[in-house]
Amino acid sequence: MNANEYAEQVVNEFITDITDHLFLSIEQDDKKMRDYTTNVNRYGLDVLNKAIGFKVKELLNLENCDENKEPKSKLIKSYTRHRIN
């Protein structure tokens, strides 16, 4: 495997679980977590989490793959995995 093939592999693996990575980044940042909690209280957990998941797909122009029911983030119970179009 050359450098470009390796780079493509790791980027694709990251993109696959981008939603989980995003929720982990919220958990690990105090300000983001406060804002997240405020918005959960305002809109509801399911509404907010679905909106975030949809925006990941929409803004990054990704395709849905499958569902992962074992996220690393504690903020979600499952998430849709993605691939690049």
User: Could you read off the pLDDT of 48-63 as tens digits, one per residue?
Assistant: 999 999 999 999 999 9
Q: How does residue 85 score in pLDDT terms, banded at 50, 70 and 90?
A: confident
Helix/strand number for the chain, H first, E second: 4, 2
Query: To the nearest whole number, what is the mean pLDDT of the chain?
Result: 97
Domain boundaries defined on the chain: 3-84
φ, ψ of residue 17 to 5 degrees: the values are -110, 30
Share of the chain above pLDDT 70, in %: 100
Helix (H, G, I), strand (E, B) or coil at 62: strand
